[in-house]
């Protein structure tokens, strides 16, 4: 569970505030990418939000956002704020279904963040330079039992 200072950082983050302003059903999306690390204090900041959405939430963001294509998956995505918040219907394979990721997510301050084990699996699969930095943060935090 994230510490109270981590929650304060989330509440003060511009992207999280903008996401909340969209007034979406938090039971129909999960925040993925690096934001779960930020929520747990494993990252000092985030530059964007990657979100997996289902149901009416997906329909709503498609109706009000800007259509684009996912850089890694090639799937249709919907963007807000110059691409700094991006919604998709699924996460990068071999991830589980969106519904399963949402079910397994951790609720922090009313929003669902992907389970850290799912985030680690994704980052281990891609192993981009920024992912390697995050993977190291996971292992350095092992003494705090972040991964459960």
How many CB atoms are located within 10 Å of the residue 140 CB? 11
Q: Which of 82, 16, 21 is nearest to 51 (CA)?
A: 16
137 located within any domain: yes
Q: Which structural domain, as residue segments, surrounds residue 109?
A: 4-142
Q: By three-state DSSP, how is residue 52 classified?
A: strand
Q: What is the DSSP string of 92-138?
A: STTS--HHHHHHHPEEETTEEE--HHHHHHHHHHH--HHHHHHHHHH
Rounded Cα gap, residues 130 and 7, in angstroms: 23
64 located within any domain: yes
What's the pTM? Answer: 0.87
27 located within any domain: yes
Place of tokens 């850089």: 71
Q: Which residue has the higher pLDDT, 29 or 147?
A: 29
Model pLDDT for residues 76-87, shown as the tens digit of each residue: 999 999 999 999
| DSSP 8-state code for residue 75 | -
Structurally, the chain folds into a number of domains equal to: 1
14 located within any domain: yes
148 located within any domain: no
**Stretch 1-20: mean pLDDT:** 80
Q: What is the mean pLDDT of the chain?
A: 87
CATH of residue 119's domain is 3.30.460
147 located within any domain: no
């Amino acid at each position: 569970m994230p510490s109270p200072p981590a929650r304060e950082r989330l509440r003060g983050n511009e992207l999280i505030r903008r996401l909340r302003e969209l007034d979406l059903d938090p039971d129909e999306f999960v925040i993925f990418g690096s934001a779960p690390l930020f929520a747990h204090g494993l990252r000092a900041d985030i530059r964007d939000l990657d979100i997996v959405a289902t149901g009416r939430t997906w329909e709503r963001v498609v109706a009000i956002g800007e259509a684009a294509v996912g850089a890694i998956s090639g799937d249709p995505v919907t963007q807000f704020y110059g691409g700094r918040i991006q919604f998709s219907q699924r996460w990068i394979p071999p991830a589980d279904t969106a519904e399963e990721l949402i079910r397994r997510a951790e609720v922090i301050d009313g929003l669902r963040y992907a389970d850290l084990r799912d985030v680690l699996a994704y980052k281990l699969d891609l192993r981009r330079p920024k992912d390697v930095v995050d993977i190291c943060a996971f292992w350095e935090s092992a003494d705090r039992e972040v991964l459960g």
